[in-house]
Structure 1
Amino acid sequence: MGNHEPELKAFYDRQAPDRDLRARDPKRDEARQAFIASLVAAHRHSVLEIGCGTGADGLAFKAAGIHYTGVDLSEENVRFARAKNLEAVVGSVRELPFASGTFSAGWTMSTLLHIPDQDLSDVLAETMRVLAEGAPLAVGLWSGDDEEVIVAHDDFEPNRFYSRRRDDTVRRLFGEHGLVSGFTTWDRPGTGRHYQFFIVTKP
């Protein structure tokens, strides 16, 4: 399906002001707080968020005393995150602007679903490159029946690319890059889909 980053950047640049005001998913916030607690307990003091958006999750990591860095395709998202006094940079998960082994943990919600299956292995290898040995990467995705689509109706144009994967497909693809654990799902009413949340630990 190719690289859809230009369209994604344009979409999220336009949506940033609305997204900054969007209501939170309480179940995802609960998962984030449990992840933060696990990082604090394990003395993991730095986290990279891939697809940081406008910085809502970043504030929670920072409040817990974890050194937070966000990266996002969208300059507008990064501008909103920086306005919250968060460290954030414009960049692509395909070529992260960080040295190898920099971060002791990773967090990426609803971002890697924009990566086609044919590119996912390379993207995960690049993600793992910037994490330290044994680092946990928390991942959130929207489920689907292994379909890759440009959504027909979106909030803004250009419409976004999605790769929506079955639970077993997610376990297999991500399991090629680390130990998958804590795999949980929850339904989102009205969507016909569920959210997938799990940890991939770098060997």
Structure 2
Amino acid sequence: MTSTTNAPDPQADQEARRADFLAYYDAEAADRARRPIPPWRTAAREEFLALLADERRHTVLEIGCGPGLDGEAIVAAGFEYTGTDLSPGMIEVARAAGLDARVASATGLPFDDHTFDAAWSMSTLMHLDDAELDTALAEITRVLVPGGVFAVGMWGAQELTVGALAEPDQDYGPPRYFHRRTDPMVHERLGERGEVESWWTRPSRPDSGHRYQYAVVRTPGAGG
């Protein structure tokens, strides 16, 4: 008799997480469109857009655009914008706001090499495991022009915390997977893709280990 063991199946885990994300974010799309972005996040966005304007950048890709709140501000600032999100529900709301947005995964961006001058991704990449994060960062670098810049913000923690998180107040669907990395972990991974020109963290509340990690990274130039 041959015995078998139930070995972990990374692909099955990834597909299950993706199904949970779609259920959650499709259900949340309309409410998220009405939820304002906090002032500290909008300040980071305006500073990033000012950098792009100073460098005469024109095309911006957003990874994890949600309902398009940042996208509307990017377009209003005069940039050519493309948004992507895994959730069809989010994309439907973003398109209704007049944005060029399409369903796509951060780990498989449907664009040619060197298509965009800059990229923006907030509160998205912490939903990826380590292998997926590496793939997503490689994809972002691939679709940017040499010397392009990208801004990344994600929720992290003082200690590595991995697993599904249920929302206590609003039940939109299954718990979402979070991979909350430490500051050195995030900084190191981003530094592998270029020069980290800006970096800050912000605790979710005073004395909390849960924090927002934000960076602006410049990819290697044509001679880099």
TM-score, scaled relative to structure 2: 0.86
Which of residues 193, 196, 199 in structure 2 aligns to 1:180? 196
Whether the aligned pair in 1 keeps the contact of 2:166 and 2:174 (CA below 8 Å) is no
Q: State the alpha-carbon separation in 2 of the partners of residues 128 and 163 from structure 1.
A: 21
When residues 191 and 77 of structure 1 are mapped into structure 2, their CA distance, relative to the original with a 3 A threshold, is farther
Which of residues 211, 214, 217 in structure 2 aligns to 1:194? 211
Q: Superposed, which structure 2 residues align to 1:63-74 within 5 Å?
A: 63-74=76-87
Instruction: Give the deviation of 1:7 after TM superposition.
Output: 1.5
Query: What is the letter of the counterpart of residue 198 of structure 1?
Result: A
Number of residue pairs aligned between Structure 1 and Structure 2: 203
Q: State the alpha-carbon separation in 2 of the partners of residues 172 and 131 from structure 1.
A: 20
Which of residues 19, 25, 44 in structure 2 aligns to 1:6? 19
Partner of 2:120: 107
Q: Secondary structure at the match of 1:9?
A: helix
Which of residues 38, 52, 72 in structure 2 aligns to 1:39? 52
Deviates more, 1:103-112 or 1:120-129: 120-129
Which of residues 99, 102, 109 in structure 2 aligns to 1:86? 99
When residues 95 and 191 of structure 1 are mapped into structure 2, their CA distance, relative to the original with a 3 A threshold, is farther
Query: What is the letter of the counterpart of residue 180 of structure 1?
Result: V
Query: What is the letter of the counterpart of residue 168 of structure 1?
Result: P
Per-residue CA deviation, residues 75-129 of structure 1 (Å, 9 max, x unaligned), is 1111111111110001111111111110000000000001101322122111211
Could you tell me the percent identity over the aligned residues?
Answer: 41
Instruction: Give the deviation of 1:12 after TM superposition.
Output: 0.5
TM-score, scaled relative to structure 1: 0.95
Whether the aligned pair in 1 keeps the contact of 2:84 and 2:101 (CA below 8 Å) is yes
Deviates more, 1:122-131 or 1:53-62: 122-131
Instruction: Give the deviation of 1:70 after TM superposition.
Output: 0.2
> What RMSD in Å do the two structures reach over aligned CA positions?
1.5
Partner of 2:4: none
Partner of 1:149: 163
When residues 21 and 190 of structure 1 are mapped into structure 2, their CA distance, relative to the original with a 3 A threshold, is farther
Instruction: Give the deviation of 1:5 after TM superposition.
Output: 1.9
1:124 pairs with 2:127: no
For structure 1, the residue ranges without an aligned partner over 5 or more in a row are: none
Q: Secondary structure at the match of 1:15?
A: helix
Deviates more, 1:100-109 or 1:168-177: 168-177
Instruction: Give the deviation of 1:23 after TM superposition.
Output: 2.7
Moved over 4 A (4+): none
Deviates more, 1:23-32 or 1:116-125: 116-125
Structure with larger Rg: 2
